[in-house]
Amino acid sequence: MAAHALAFLDALGVESCDVLGFSLGGMVAQQMALDRPAALRRMVLVGTAPRGGEDIMHLDKPSLAKPLSDPSLKGYAVLQKIFFAPSETSQKAGSSFVERLMQRSADREPVSGPAVAQAQIAAFREWEKFSGDRFAELRKVRHPTLVVSGVRDEMIPVRNSYWLSENLPNAMLLSYPDSGHGSLFQFHDSFVRQASAFLDSESEFAPY
């Protein structure tokens, strides 16, 4: 996926850009930064993990298996349960997120099927593997990076974001309370302000 993303940039004639990577996309962004550092200026990594991270999308654990196997939950109702914290406030924000998703009625992406899900899970399992010094690759990434996570993320727990911010030499961490994997959707106004300020910065350092 990182190779394809870089090939796409080449096809567009884009020599350098900013990258927002959410979940699996955050892992793709890290690989892009390693494969071709000059292609990226700044990175925003949301709800993701470093290579060698832990508990990445283990859908069989009770907190995720229960809503995933609940026959009363269909479609976006499942997403709401697993992307947002179980509190009333977070679930209410999840409901609002689903409403926003449904506003678009034309030119929607087709629903991804089981093959896509299986490929993603295979990628997550591979990403958990590492050899040698556990987070050595992170220390090679010098790009200003904003790491964002919900403190109650059950899909990719927040400790993975702590490891990112601890081992990336030019990163800062933004963690949202009472939120899960979809923290950027729950606190969308705040996230847009923070990400915009970060990306607008001309500093060579992550703090903005």
When pLDDT is cut at 50, 70 and 90, the band that residue 105 belongs to is confident
- 138-178 pLDDT, tens digit each: 999 999 999 999 999 999 999 999 999 999 999 999 999 99
Cα 98 to Cα 103: distance, rounded to the nearest angstrom: 9
* Burial call 38-72: b when 16+ CB within 10 Å, e when fewer: ebbebbbbbbbbbbbbeebbbeeeeebeebeeeee
Q: Are 181 and 47 in contact (CB under 8 A)?
A: yes
All residues at 6 or more sequence positions from 136 whose CB lies less than 8 Å from its CB, including other chains: none
pLDDT tens digits, one per residue of 12-61: 999 999 999 999 999 999 999 999 999 999 999 999 999 999 999 999 99
Q: Which domains does the chain have, with CATH numbers?
A: 16-57+132-200 (3.40.50.1820)
Count of CB atoms situated within 10 Å of the CB of 100: 10
pLDDT band at residue 108 using 50, 70 and 90 as cut-offs: confident
- pLDDT over 90 at 109, yes or no: no
- Return the number of other C-beta atoms located less than 10 Å from residue 20's C-beta: 17
Give residue 114's pLDDT band: very low, low, confident or very high (50, 70, 90). Answer: confident
